[in-house]
Amino acid sequence: MPVITHPHDLLEASVFVDVEPIVGRPLQLKVEGFNFAGSVKLRTAAGLVEAAEAEGRLVEGSVVIESSSGNLGLAIGVIAASRGIPFVCVTDPRCNPTTLRLLRAIGAEAVVVSEPDRNGGYLESRLRHVRATCAADDRYVWLNQYANPANWLAHYELTAPEIAKQHPDLDVLFVGAGTGGTLMGCARYFRDNGDRVKVVGVDAIGSVSFGGPSGPRYIPGLGSSVAPPLLDPSLLGGVVHVPEPETVRWCRELASHGFLFGGSTGTVVGGAVRWLNEHDPQGALRAVAIAPDLADRYVDTIYDDVWVAEHFGDIQTRGRDVA
């Protein structure tokens, strides 16, 4: 076992879970939640911070600021706490209460922007706050996960090669679409290495990332109310859109078998099963999906019966009942 000095020294993620007995399709999940930020976003955060330092933007006396619906903010907060760097996370009311408490526990300042943007989301409002803060005080350094190439490069250099090493015979990879960093890093890696792997993006219904109509979304993580600059759909082998009630059903179905995953993972699993049902009914393809997070951030939402009933009504909670 490795001995580490800083929380972001633990970035390796070599655990895969075979969920075929649960989902009814040959599918393995690459589990990314076993680190001190609890999600795949620790890799992104490490890349963003290192790039800012290398560019000379992040210096002594700087204050890091970033817009995030939760996981990326907490990941930056973990690194900032380790390095003694002040950090401000600009988030919104959809941020899980547990995430807010954890942010404050590690010394970060959490600013909750409550004004919806023109698409009914909060991203534009969060970005306005970030830009105004940076314009008013040059100590603030915006890492800008939405347009920074360091975002996708972290997954090009780490996440995708790990998958290729463990699964040299892989046919299709399912990756959730948030900022597009993980998705584009993986898509570019497999393209550049001449691989036959088809990379399929998974998005939430109500997200405008791939040109769909905007709609209400209650589960943070995947999806966006603004088209992410990093996304290049031409690199993808398809996109699957998943309704949020299905996210809840899959999270709870996995939990009923002892696998406690987060909302982004439930969405990705739902998208993978939908795609495999349509494109691989015989189960001939070797498939992997990236599981970005674990369940702890969602105990007040996806795993709370009252919250689910308030937002989605009386829904079935067994993933295999989803068509």
Same domain, 219 and 76: no
Same domain, 153 and 257: yes
Report the number of distinct structural domains present in the chain. Answer: 2
CA contacts within 13 A on the Cβ side of 104: 9
- Give the max Cα distance, the chain: 59
Same domain, 156 and 27: yes
Which pair of tokens denotes residue 203?
Answer: 């998005």
Last residue of a domain, one of 112, 142, 172: 142
Inform me whether the pLDDT recorded for 18 exceeds 70: yes
Whether 162 contacts 13, CB under 8 Å: yes
Mean pLDDT of the 22-46 span:
94
- pLDDT tens digit sequence for 290-313: 999 999 889 999 999 999 999 998
Assess if residue 1 is contained within a domain: no
Inform me whether the pLDDT recorded for 322 exceeds 80: no
Global model pTM greater than 0.75: yes
Mean pLDDT of the 147-170 span:
95
Taking the CA atoms of residue 130, residue 133, residue 137 and residue 142 in that order, the dihedral angle to the nearest 10 degrees is: -10
Same domain, 75 and 55: yes
Same domain, 233 and 256: yes
Share of the chain above pLDDT 70, in %: 97
Dist. CA 208–CA 225, nearest whole Å = 6
Same domain, 109 and 204: no
Last residue of a domain, one of 118, 142, 166: 142
For residue 232, name the pLDDT band (cuts at 50, 70, 90).
very high
Same domain, 22 and 70: no
Last residue of a domain, one of 94, 110, 142: 142
For residue 323, name the pLDDT band (cuts at 50, 70, 90).
very low
Same domain, 286 and 228: yes
Residue 54, domain CATH: 3.40.50.1100
Enclosing domain of residue 63: 41-142
Q: What is the per-residue pLDDT for 321?
A: 43
Q: What is the per-residue pLDDT for 208?
A: 87
Same domain, 176 and 287: yes
Interior/surface letters 120-133, b for 16+ CB within 10 angstroms, e for the rest: ebbbbbbbebbeeb
Same domain, 25 and 170: yes
Q: What is the per-residue pLDDT for 1?
A: 55
Please state the length of the chain.
323
Inform me whether the pLDDT recorded for 170 exceeds 50: yes
Nearest residue to 218 via CA among 69, 109, 110: 69
Assess if residue 164 is contained within a domain: yes
Assess if residue 286 is contained within a domain: yes
Assess if residue 126 is contained within a domain: yes
Q: What is the per-residue pLDDT for 305?
A: 93
Distance of CA 316 to the CA centre of its chain: 25
Q: What is the per-residue pLDDT for 104?
A: 94
Same domain, 266 and 217: yes
Mean pLDDT of the 145-170 span:
94
Dist. CA 75–CA 191, nearest whole Å = 28
Assess if residue 2 is contained within a domain: no
Same domain, 178 and 94: no
Assess if residue 285 is contained within a domain: yes
Assess if residue 54 is contained within a domain: yes
Assess if residue 272 is contained within a domain: yes
